[in-house]
Homo-oligomer: A and B are copies of this chain.
Amino acid sequence: MISFESDYNTGAHPQILKRLAKTNLEALSGYGTDPYCESAREKIKATCRCPQAQVEFFIGGTQTNSVIISTILRDFEGVIAAQTGHVSIHEAGAVEFTGHKVLEVSQKDGKIEPATLRGFMEDFYADGNHEHMVFPGMVYISHPTEYGTLYTKEELSEISAICRSFRVPLYLDGAQLGYGLMSRETDVTLPEIAELCDVFYIGGTKVGALCGEAVVFTKQNMPAHFMTSVKKRGALLAKGRLLGIQFDTLFSDGLYFEISRHAIEMAEQMKAIFRRKGLTFYLESPTNQQFIILENSHLEQLRKNVAVSFWEKYDDSHTVVRFATSWSTTKDDLSALEELL
């Protein structure tokens, strides 16, 4: 059985496990105050070329989104997100749990188009009743999106400019950021993201860590007494070292990028296999997730040997299926897949 089910179904990159073992007996202070967290922060700031950044670590994506959004929004505000955004659909209402609305806007391939955003903001302020409405107080985008697609530098710059003109912070969910940065089709770099966004996170869980996401506040805009707000949300890890050591490892010797590049390379080879086999792409993404339309009986057959993700029903006889690569995908996996298709 080979698996392309997700990018989080194997453990951690071996170097991470090695590092955890090596540091295991050191007595370290808790809650993110240990030297590994500190070192990881410095490496991330350097990699982002953002010396004034403030970096904090969280366990998972939904937790990160909910903490960041709810500590930055003001009482009367909500967060704008694509209708297909992770916070809109697949986080069980975690943002609403904190008392704030997700203001859903239309999308294209998972992305918010700049014109859509501008229109939404202008319409809001044009409405004479807007004091009875939730104010747009933040823009949430994901990069890569839930469909594996990417914003261009131009799109990102335009969205950032709109946010600034309306004095609304831009937040980028980078659960799979590495794959976006290492895509062959992107023109966006990490320092540019740090410059254009007010806050974003660098995903670890889906890019080789056991768990963990690194949040980067780029404009000295970390909320006051942030540790207390994090604790209040049950999101403060006692053995903060678990996150610090992982990110310190990921940002040593470019491991984060190496892992990402490997998964992209595997994804490109996988795309080539799909093409050779004449399969139909539902969406040919530039990152590590590919969406293929399979005939149902074909899918059933395939699933005896290959784990994949159901994405959605296409029609009565076809299904959209997601294939994902990760740090642990091997050439052997791809050969086996090609044979089985």
Q: By the criterion CB–CB under 8 Å, are A9 and B28 in contact?
A: yes
Q: Which of A47-55, A59-67, A112-120 contacts B (4 or more CB under 8 A)?
A: A59-67
Question: A10-B26, A76-B92 are known contacts. Are A63 and B241 too (CB-CB below 8 A)?
Answer: no
Contacts of A211 in B (CB 8 A): 237-239, 242
Q: Which of A100-108, A153-161, A180-188 contacts B (4 or more CB under 8 A)?
A: A100-108
**Could you tell me the distance in whole angstroms from the C-beta of A144 to the nearest C-beta in chain B?**
16
Q: Which of A123-131, A256-264, A280-288 contacts B (4 or more CB under 8 A)?
A: A123-131
Q: By the criterion CB–CB under 8 Å, are B17 and A21 in contact?
A: yes
Contacts of A100 in B (CB 8 A): 93, 96
Chain copies in the assembled complex: 4
Contacts of A98 in B (CB 8 A): 99
Contacts of A29 in B (CB 8 A): 5, 9
Residue A132 contacts which of B67, B90, B234 (CB distance < 8 angstroms)? B90
Contacts of A238 in B (CB 8 A): 8, 60-61, 205-206, 211
Other CB < 8 Å A-B pairs besides A10-B27, A17-B24, A99-B99, 9 of them? A9-B29, A59-B59, A62-B234, A93-B101, A94-B232, A131-B228, A132-B228, A205-B238, A210-B239
Residues on A lying within 8 angstroms of B by beta carbon are: 1-3, 5-6, 8-12, 14, 17, 20-21, 23-30, 59-67, 70-71, 74-76, 78, 89-94, 96-102, 104, 126, 128-129, 131-135, 205-206, 210-211, 223-225, 227-229, 231-239, 241-242, 307, 310, 313, 328
